[in-house]
Every structure is written in structure tokens, then in C-alpha cells.
Amino acid sequence: MAARTSPPVGTPEGLGRAPGLRERKKQQTRDALVQAAHLLFLSQGFARTTVDEIASAVDVSQRTFFRYFANKDEVALAVMAEAEDYFIECLRHRPAEETPLQALRASIVKAWRDLGNDRASGPGSISSALELLRIIEDTPALLAAHLRRVTEQERLVVEVLAEREGLDPAEDLRPVVLAAVFGSLVRSAHLSWTAEQEPAGPEGMVAVIERHFDQLGPALAGHWRP
């Protein structure tokens, strides 16, 4: 959550003064590590890539790698983490008239679309994120770490939702429940997208997500059989 490649679209982060050489170098190293790691993961898989390889691809010591990332998982999840942060930002700016569920749906769709438009390629790009998502889904260790991250993000969603509606999340279970439902909906959309031959790219993902949302009502409806 510390330093990021480039400020997510729409976030006012260009305020701080010029960062200074030291900061810039750190950012460079971090970016280089992420990119090198992704290339290696993509070509050889996550498990068969050692931290030493990543570090020496960027010409830093292994020790330095671990000063940037707490563990090997983190470097793989870095891009996704950024996307998730942007989603939260979107949610914060949804108009108050929207239903909580509507706001969530609109935010996630907007997040994927914006990231798709603004950063079509390059490191930290949307396509990297999507490629990574594939790797994550079929690397047990990564999937586990990712799921944990997601549930932490859910806690944030609860806060935003509660504040939006002026509720105390400790008293009212609705934000908690809705956040949980939303999270699982998105995840099962990811799963579909990864598994099936969905149209690739952010638009494909958006389509899958919309389809899942549309099934929420029917799924909860009484009986399924006609």
C-alpha cells in the first residue's frame, strides 16, 4: 500500500512536491522488481521462480527484495492491489442517491473500465493485472494470499458503506453482509473469467461481472424450478 507505480486515475496525488532523487530511485527499484517478477512468473510460473532470480534480474540483493516486499506473494499481488485501491476510491465518489448495491456495482465496473482505458499497456498495466489474475487463480499459495487481501479490502468497503449511509457498522449488520455478498460476487466473476473462454481484456471482465450481478436476485429467489 506504500508507493505505487503511477497515481491511479482520478486520484489527486500529484500534490506533494518533487519527490527527490532518493524517493525516485526507490520507486524505480520497486517498479523494476514488480516488472521483473511478472515477466518471470509469466514465463516460468510462480513456484519455479526464486526470489534470487527476481532480485538479480534487477541487480539488487535478495535482502533488498525483502525490504520492498514482505514476501514473494506480495510482489505478485502488487498490481491487483493497486486496482483494488482504485475501486475503493471510485466507491467513495459515488452519488448518494444510488442504492448501496448500485454504488458497488457501478464502482467496480468503472474501476475496470478506467484502468482499461488509461493504462492499456506497460508495467502495472491492466493487461498485466489480468494476466496475473490467471496466475493467481491457479497458484494455490497466491490464491490464498489474494483471498486474504480481498477480505481485508472488504473491511474497507464496510467502512465506506457505513459512512455513506450514516450507520454504525458495529450495530447494523447490513454493510457487513452487503460487502461480503459483493466480494463473493466479484470473486466468482473472476473465477468464471479465468476459467472460461470469456472475451479477454477489461471489457470481457466487465461483462462477466454484470452477468453475475444480474443473477443475484434470481439466485436468492425462492425456488429455482419452474
Q: Does 44 bind DNA (CB under 7 A)?
A: no
C-alpha cell recorded at residue 108: 467496480
**DSSP letters spanning 59-71:** T--HHHHHHH-SS
CA angle 111, 118, 33 (to 5 degrees): 90
138 alpha-carbon distance from chain centroid: 16
Q: Does 100 bind a copy of itself (CB under 8 A)?
A: yes
CA distance 190 to 206: 10
C-alpha cell recorded at residue 97: 442517491
Q: Which stretch binds DNA (CB under 7 A): 60-68, 112-120, 158-166, 167-175?
A: 60-68
Among residues 51 and 178, whose Cβ is nearest to a copy of itself?
178
Q: How far is the CB of 27 from DNA (least distance, A)?
A: 10
Cα–Cα distances in angstroms (integers) from residue 166 to residues 37, 100, 170, 213, in the given order: 43, 12, 12, 25
* Residue 22 interacting partner from a copy of itself, DNA, none (CB closer than 5 to 8 Å by kind): DNA
Q: Which stretch binds a copy of itself (CB under 8 A): 12-20, 21-29, 37-45, 161-169?
A: 161-169
Q: Which position among 63, 168, 197, 226 is part of the footprint of DNA (CB under 7 A)? A: 63
Q: How far is the CB of 143 from a copy of itself (least distance, A)?
A: 5
C-alpha cell recorded at residue 36: 521483473
Give the interface with a copy of itself as residue ranges (CB under 8 A).
99-101, 140, 143-145, 147-148, 151, 165-167, 172-181, 183-185, 187-188, 192, 211-212, 215-216, 218-220, 222-225
